[in-house]
Structure 1
Amino acid sequence: MKKIIVFIFSLLLYSCTKKEKTHSSEFLIAQKELTEQLTKISKQTDFNGFGVAIANENEVLYQNGFGIANLEPKQKYDENTVQNIASVSKTFIGIAILKAQELGKLQLDDPINKYLSFKVTNPYYPNIPITIRQLTTHTSSINDNEVYMKKTIVLNDTINLKQNLDIDISPTKFNPPTAKITIEEFLQNTLDSKGKWYLKDVFLNKKPGEIYNYSNIGATLAALVLEKATGISYDKFTTENILKPLQMNSSGWSFDSVNYSKCTNTFQDKKTPYPFYSLNTYPDGGLLTTSKDMGNYISELLKGFLGKGTLLNKESYQEYFRPQLQAKNFIDRDTSEYGDYNIGITMTIYPSGNFGHFGGDPGLFSVIQFDKKKKTARYYIINTNPSGSETNKYHKQINDALDIYTEKLNKLSKLE
């Protein structure tokens, strides 16, 4: 009898808990309406597929995918479709660096040569050390020169190799699978004055810490510093300290670490897929993930901004989002709505004070955006090359729908 009573009590407790986490019918209707609107738009776009996620400070409000992921065989783009998110990946570098700082493995203002096995020094200012903070705020004076642009993108296989190597993705280019190397080897070849690809133009004639200059290679160097400071590879460190805690179980830094059958092609246009590719400098733009997983990620970042995050302590999150630069650090400051007006630790801060990050690689555009007043976050990605005004028209339609339903779902959200 005692066991039966305990069982009934447990069942009632479970039922109550479950009921508390059940959304209202109005919330579910709003989700359905958003799905219907985005489905309608997806049938008209000049890109094949796209994914979205929205969140507030308490939960993921919506996540989904629309359109086409692959043509042969035809495969739908959904919330579990895996796609490279390009430079939005850089926001993970900032979280990882600050986590390593919490663990006592490094400090933001440490000189990077304290950790590297080769020297990285601006030849114009050889006595001024480059710091980790400068790498994460794009003020290191390291510059993405032509060597970087031409050598980082690597094809995954040799199918139609000659034809694929000739595809125009300027200013970058495809390289054969045999060109795949570690980030340490790539960076040493490029940044070490004794490296086989070294050219002086990989540095600006500016003092380290002086001028904002967006640098992919500098971001990847921050990831290498983390590897050397912690003794753990960047992909493993971020998996253990970011992906797993956030249950981003469909995400990873290589095709071997995700469900390959769920990977979308990226496309030159609606009819022409690109071959699958990866990056030698994978930390700067190589995360493979899903709309579902990115919902968890943007929700955590919003919580972190509001002092409720779980990946980092409050002080680290404050540093992550704190504007790091001043007007004097910009030669031509971008004052447009989503311009690079300032930066936290890898997180772009817009003139409005809101923040986020954009990404772009062959066949894709991606963005995460946060509204600090409304306390909401958004993720949006497409799998086809943007084509100018036509693509922008559909971007606007999608974002207008997201604006309306983010507000509705946020008001109707009941999870605490």
Structure 2
Amino acid sequence: MKRLLSLGLVAFILSSCSTTKNLHSEEFVQTQNELTEKLTQISKTASFNGFGVALVNDEEVLYQNGFGVTNSNTNAKYTENTVQNVASVSKTVLGLAILKAQELGKLTLDDPVNTFLSFNVSNPEYPDVPITIRHLVTHTSSIVDTEDYLSRNVVLKDTVNLARNLNIDISPTRFNPPSAKTSLEDFLKHLLATDGDWYAREGFSNSKPGSLYAYSNVGTSLAALVLEKATGMTYDAFTTQYILRPLEMHSSGWSFKAIDFSSYSPTYQNKTTPYPYYSLIGYPDGGLLTTGSDMSKYVLELLKGYFGKGTILSRQSYKEYFTPQLAAENFIDRSTSEYSDEYNMGITMGFGSTGNFGHTGGDPGMFSVIWFFKDRRMGRYFIVNTDWDTKFSGKDQKAIYDLLDEYYIKLNSLSKAKK
């Protein structure tokens, strides 16, 4: 939906959307057009090649679109159907999956992880204190990301320009050749089992499991492995069956084979230099591939779930998902920024100091965020396909957010769900 379309055509497109059952008013569509025009202007001078946005209230998707380009050479347009990885925003899917498995009677949040694993995981300082699933999904497990995790997790898609690509600086991580790809279980066993090839005492903090918050990618992937063992399904199969397909997120998946690769956007070091295509061995902690259109459905479901109207989980499970699990004593350096997702934790869902909630994500060449304003009943999605420019990107982001906030008020007041 890049060009300014006639009111009739836009209305037809909206009527075809799975989240829109009836035609909106001409005023609603015209308001969308105004937002599109203003965001298009920002895209012409933005510090990133392409970006996507979505806005929802607790009843419907109000707006979704893409801007800029996915390919700086061909000027292929970035649209709401462009596929990108969303990095750590993927972790919010894990919380839903764990709670769905709990609903199915396969596990409970307070089960020790070693009940399910084929290898033992314990903090060497506290060998008799079980690490539980709840610890993993609230980042209080005492498992921390080591240099081996950071240096081995990111794997190139192919061997094109391999020598050059292996030397690209993405510190503290680095690219690995396709031959380094291994299973999630083997990867985690190498890292966390005492006889693992990459095991290190530094893979655990000095804190007792359950006592202190410390963001852990490894812990997230371990929770996904526990789910696999408890359910007898791979994580990608489980989440596809119980989350992606019920939400009609048909353009989303956890591997390049699962999506339409022709719609996949390269990510960029700067506006002219693309990164090579890559994936994650620990894909549950950041490997969801999806579109703005699909993410609008996902954000809508989460906001509905917060207000007791979700479809993926029961009301009770959603209440657990959105209940802050931690207290002041669980933090050493607690972030008090309104928009930080590390003031408190639900079940993989982060909370800011005001009680609003969401999650951010970042990987080579991209940044993403979902954020929810509970009092306004507003959900917002934003993603870019280019490395963050510390001098300019923040200004571009603020300009985009200001427009989304302004037009949320207008679109929400015109929403057919409010009539």
TM-score (norm 2): 0.94
Q: Which runs of 5+ in 2 are unaligned?
A: 1-19
The worse-fitting range, judged by mean Cα deviation, of 388-397 and 257-266 is 388-397
**Retained in 2: the 8 A contact 1:93–1:346?**
yes
Residue 306 of structure 2 corresponds to which residue in structure 1?
305
For residues 238-282 of structure 1, give each alpha carbon's deviation from its aligned partner in whole angstroms, at most 9, with x where no partner exists: 000000000000000000000000000000000000000000000
Write the distance in 1 (CA, Å) between the matches of 2:337 and 2:63: 28
Write the distance in 2 (CA, Å) between the matches of 1:187 and 1:407: 46
For residues 183-202 of structure 1, give each alpha carbon's deviation from its aligned partner in whole angstroms, at most 9, with x where no partner exists: 10100000001000101100
- 1:276 paired with 2:277, answer yes
User: 1:33 is paired with a residue of what secondary structure?
Assistant: helix
User: 1:43 is paired with a residue of what secondary structure?
Assistant: helix
For residues 50-86 of structure 1, give each alpha carbon's deviation from its aligned partner in whole angstroms, at most 9, with x where no partner exists: 0011111111111110001013433110000000000
Residue 408 of structure 1 corresponds to which residue in structure 2?
410
Decide which structure has the larger Cα Rg and report it.
1
Write the distance in 2 (CA, Å) between the matches of 1:411 and 1:161: 53
**Retained in 2: the 8 A contact 1:21–1:415?**
no
Deviation at 1:358, TM superposition (A): 0.3
User: 1:140 is paired with a residue of what secondary structure?
Assistant: coil
- 1:350 paired with 2:352, answer yes
For residues 129-161 of structure 1, give each alpha carbon's deviation from its aligned partner in whole angstroms, at most 9, with x where no partner exists: 000000000000000011110000000000000
For residues 88-120 of structure 1, give each alpha carbon's deviation from its aligned partner in whole angstroms, at most 9, with x where no partner exists: 000000000000000000000000000001000
Residue 362 of structure 2 corresponds to which residue in structure 1?
360
Write the distance in 1 (CA, Å) between the matches of 2:367 and 2:240: 24
Write the distance in 2 (CA, Å) between the matches of 1:247 and 1:409: 24
| Counterpart residue type for residue 301 of structure 2 | E
User: 1:389 is paired with a residue of what secondary structure?
Assistant: coil
Deviation at 1:331, TM superposition (A): 0.6
Residue 56 of structure 1 corresponds to which residue in structure 2?
57
Deviation at 1:337, TM superposition (A): 1.7
| Counterpart residue type for residue 408 of structure 1 | K
User: 1:322 is paired with a residue of what secondary structure?
Assistant: coil
Residue 215 of structure 2 corresponds to which residue in structure 1?
214
For residues 330-354 of structure 1, give each alpha carbon's deviation from its aligned partner in whole angstroms, at most 9, with x where no partner exists: 0110001222110100000100100
- 1:170 paired with 2:175, answer no
Residue 17 of structure 2 corresponds to which residue in structure 1?
none
User: 1:267 is paired with a residue of what secondary structure?
Assistant: coil
Residue 44 of structure 2 corresponds to which residue in structure 1?
43
Residue 12 of structure 2 corresponds to which residue in structure 1?
none
- 1:133 paired with 2:134, answer yes
Write the distance in 2 (CA, Å) between the matches of 1:187 and 1:96: 19
| Counterpart residue type for residue 126 of structure 1 | P
Of the three residues 376, 386, 389, the one matched with 2:388 is: 386
User: 2:392 is paired with a residue of what secondary structure?
Assistant: helix
TM-score (norm 1): 0.95
Aligned residues between the structures = 398
Residue 334 of structure 2 corresponds to which residue in structure 1?
333
| Counterpart residue type for residue 382 of structure 1 | V
Q: Percent of aligned pairs with the same residue? A: 61
**Retained in 1: the 8 A contact 2:137–2:347?**
yes
**Retained in 1: the 8 A contact 2:221–2:285?**
yes
Residue 249 of structure 1 corresponds to which residue in structure 2?
250
Deviation at 1:407, TM superposition (A): 1.2
Write the distance in 1 (CA, Å) between the matches of 2:124 and 2:230: 25
Of the three residues 353, 370, 373, the one matched with 1:371 is: 373
Write the distance in 2 (CA, Å) between the matches of 1:70 and 1:105: 44
Deviation at 1:389, TM superposition (A): 2.7
1:50-129 superposed matches below 5 A: 50-129=51-130
Write the distance in 1 (CA, Å) between the matches of 2:107 and 2:391: 45
User: 1:252 is paired with a residue of what secondary structure?
Assistant: coil
Consecutive aligned runs of 4 or more in structure 1 exceeding 3 Å deviation: none
Write the distance in 1 (CA, Å) between the matches of 2:194 and 2:349: 30
**Retained in 2: the 8 A contact 1:250–1:293?**
yes
Write the distance in 2 (CA, Å) between the matches of 1:61 and 1:245: 20
Q: Which runs of 5+ in 1 are unaligned?
A: 1-18
Write the distance in 2 (CA, Å) between the matches of 1:55 and 1:72: 33
Write the distance in 2 (CA, Å) between the matches of 1:204 and 1:338: 27
**Retained in 2: the 8 A contact 1:83–1:263?**
yes
Write the distance in 1 (CA, Å) between the matches of 2:278 and 2:75: 20
Write the distance in 1 (CA, Å) between the matches of 2:403 and 2:276: 32
User: 2:269 is paired with a residue of what secondary structure?
Assistant: strand
Write the distance in 2 (CA, Å) between the matches of 1:33 and 1:73: 27
Write the distance in 2 (CA, Å) between the matches of 1:330 and 1:354: 19
| Counterpart residue type for residue 75 of structure 1 | A
**Retained in 1: the 8 A contact 2:49–2:72?**
no
**Alpha carbons of 1:20 and 1:183: their partners in 2 closer, same or farther (altered >3 Å)?**
closer
Write the distance in 2 (CA, Å) between the matches of 1:223 and 1:284: 9
Residue 227 of structure 1 corresponds to which residue in structure 2?
228
